[in-house]
C-alpha cells in the first residue's frame, strides 16, 4: 500500500537523522495532507480525450542560499548544504509524483517506458533531486523493472540542462537583448517604489548589515527568514513588523520583474512555452508526458506569459499542468486545458481559463495568441 510505503519513508528519515521537532511535525503534516489528497484522487476515471501532459514544477523545500552579516543564525549548520533539497523537500516531490500517478496513472500506464516519458531539469542539484523523487513517486518499478526486492525504486533519466545553455528552466543562458530590457524595466520599477518602500529598504539595510537596496536583495532576505522560521529558528525582533507580509510583496514583485514587458516574456519564458507547444504539435502518439523540474521563477514566468499575473508566491512543489486533448472524431484538431497545483500536496488543482479562449482552448488558437512570446531563433534574436 502507498500509505505504508510513505509512512515507512517518514519513519526511516526520522531514525536515520536527528531532525528538529518542527521538521518532524512538518513531515507528518505533509503525510496527512497527502493521505487526504490521494484518497480524493483514487479511483479517478481515465480521460478518454487526453493525449499528452506537459508539467512544469518547482523543486521541494530547501536550505537557505543567502545569509546577512547580522544574521543570528549565520553559523547554523545546515547539514544538507547551501541551497540544498531537504528531507521534507524530497517527500513533497515524492507526494506530487504519487498525486500525478493517481490522476494520470491509467493514461500513463503502470510501467515506465522511455519513449513515452521525458524529464528535463534545471542544473541546480535541488531541482535534479526533486525530479528524481517525483519520478520515484510516479513510477515505482513493476514486474521486470524490479531489480532489488528491498528498494522500491528504479533509475529514470532526468536530463539536466547545463547552466550556461539553459534558457528554459533556470534561464541563466546569457541574452544581451534581454539583459538590456531587464535593466530598463528594473529602473522603472525602482522609480515607482513608494516612499514607504524605500524607507523599508533603508531599515532592512540598517538591521541586516547588508546593502538591501533593491527588491532582488529583499527577496533573498525574505526566503532566508522564511526557511529559518519554518525550521523553528527564532527570528530577530525587528522582523516582526515586516515579515512575512511586507517582504513577501518585495519577493513577488522581484519574481514578476523578469516578465514585466512582452520582450522580457519572450526571452524569459518564450523558449519553454515554444517547446511545450512543439511537444503538442509534433505528438506522434508515443510521447505521453513531458516533465520539467525548475524553480519559483520558472513557474511565475510561464504563468505570467500565459496571462495569469495575479499569483501568490509559488510554494514548494507548485506545478503547472497543460493537458493536450483530441476528440476521436477530429484527430489533429486538439485543444488544451491549463491547471495549477498551488503546492506539492494540493488536493484539487485550479483550472485556469486563458483570457483569449474558452476553458478548452484549441491548440491553434493557443499558439496564434501566444506566438509573439515564442522566439523563432532565440540565440540570434538575443543579439539583434
pLDDT tens per residue across span 267-299: 999 999 999 999 999 876 689 999 999 999 999
Number of domains in the chain: 1
* Domain ranges, residue 26: 2-173+262-381
pLDDT of residue 47: 79
Determine, yes or no, domain membership for 48.
Answer: yes
Q: What whole-number distance in Å separates Cα of residue 353 and Cα of residue 357?
A: 7
pLDDT of residue 359: 87
pLDDT of residue 332: 67
Greatest C-alpha distance within the chain: 66
**What's the average model confidence in pLDDT over 211-223?**
97
Determine, yes or no, domain membership for 23.
Answer: yes
pLDDT of residue 179: 97
Higher pLDDT, 45 or 218: 218
Determine, yes or no, domain membership for 235.
Answer: no
pLDDT of residue 36: 45
Determine, yes or no, domain membership for 141.
Answer: yes
Q: What is the CATH number of the domain that holds 43?
A: 3.40.50.1240
Determine, yes or no, domain membership for 186.
Answer: no
Determine, yes or no, domain membership for 181.
Answer: no
| pLDDT above 60: residue 37 | no
Task: State how far the alpha carbon of 93 is from the alpha carbons of 58, 62, 220, 300, in Å.
Answer: 9, 12, 23, 19
Higher pLDDT, 283 or 28: 283
Q: 325-375: per-residue pLDDT in tens?
A: 998 776 667 999 999 999 998 878 999 999 999 889 999 999 999 999 999
Determine, yes or no, domain membership for 26.
Answer: yes
Determine, yes or no, domain membership for 167.
Answer: yes
Amino acid at each position: 500500500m502507498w500509505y505504508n510505503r510513505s509512512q515507512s519513508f517518514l519513519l526511516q528519515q526520522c531514525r536515520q537523522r536527528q531532525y528538529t521537532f518542527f521538521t518532524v511535525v512538518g513531515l507528518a503534516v505533509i503525510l496527512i495532507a497527502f493521505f487526504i489528497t490521494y484518497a480524493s484522487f483514487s479511483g479517478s476515471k481515465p480521460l478518454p480525450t487526453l493525449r499528452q501532459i506537459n508539467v512544469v514544477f518547482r523543486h521541494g523545500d530547501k536550505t537557505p542560499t543567502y545569509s546577512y552579516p547580522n544574521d543570528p543564525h549565520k553559523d547554523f549548520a545546515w547539514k544538507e548544504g547551501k541551497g540544498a533539497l531537504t528531507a521534507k523537500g524530497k517527500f513533497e516531490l515524492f507526494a506530487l509524483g504519487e498525486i500525478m500517478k493517481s490522476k494520470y496513472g491509467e493514461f500513463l500506464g503502470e510501467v515506465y517506458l522511455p519513449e513515452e516519458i521525458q524529464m528535463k531539469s534545471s542544473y541546480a542539484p535541488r531541482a535534479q533531486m526533486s525530479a528524481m523523487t517525483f519520478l520515484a513517486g510516479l513510477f515505482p518499478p513493476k514486474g521486470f523493472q524490479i531489480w532489488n526486492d528491498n528498494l522500491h525504486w528504479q533509475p529514470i533519466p532526468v536530463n539536466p540542462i547545463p547552466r550556461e545553455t539553459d534558457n528554459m528552466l533556470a534561464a541563466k543562458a546569457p541574452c544581451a537583448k534581454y539583459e538590456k530590457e531587464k535593466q530598463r524595466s528594473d529602473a522603472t520599477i525602482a522609480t515607482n517604489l513608494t516612499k514607504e518602500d524605500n524607507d523599508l529598504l533603508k531599515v532592512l539595510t540598517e538591521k541586516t548589515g547588508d546593502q538591501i537596496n533593491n527588491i532582488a536583495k529583499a527577496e533573498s532576505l525574505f526566503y532566508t527568514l522564511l526557511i529559518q522560521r519554518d525550521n523553528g529558528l527564532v527570528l530577530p525582533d525587528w522582523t516582526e513588523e515586516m515579515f512575512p507580509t511586507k517582504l513577501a510583496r518585495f519577493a513577488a514583485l522581484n519574481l514578476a520583474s523578469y516578465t514585466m514587458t512582452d520582450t522580457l516574456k519572450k526571452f524569459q519564458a518564450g523558449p519553454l512555452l515554444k517547446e511545450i507547444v512543439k511537444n503538442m504539435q509534433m505528438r506522434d502518439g508515443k510521447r505521453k508526458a513531458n516533465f520539467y523540474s525548475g524553480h519559483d521563477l520558472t513557474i511565475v514566468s510561464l504563468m505570467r506569459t500565459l496571462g495569469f499575473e495575479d499569483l501568490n508566491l509559488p510554494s514548494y512543489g507548485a506545478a503547472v499542468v497543460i493537458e493536450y486533448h483530441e476528440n476521436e472524431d477530429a484527430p489533429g484538431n486538439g485543444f488544451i486545458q491549463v491547471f495549477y497545483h498551488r503546492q506539492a500536496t494540493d488536493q484539487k488543482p485550479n483550472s485556469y481559463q486563458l483570457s483569449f479562449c474558452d476553458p478548452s482552448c484549441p491548440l491553434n488558437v493557443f499558439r496564434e495568441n501566444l506566438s509573439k512570446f515564442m522566439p523563432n531563433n532565440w540565440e540570434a534574436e538575443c543579439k539583434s
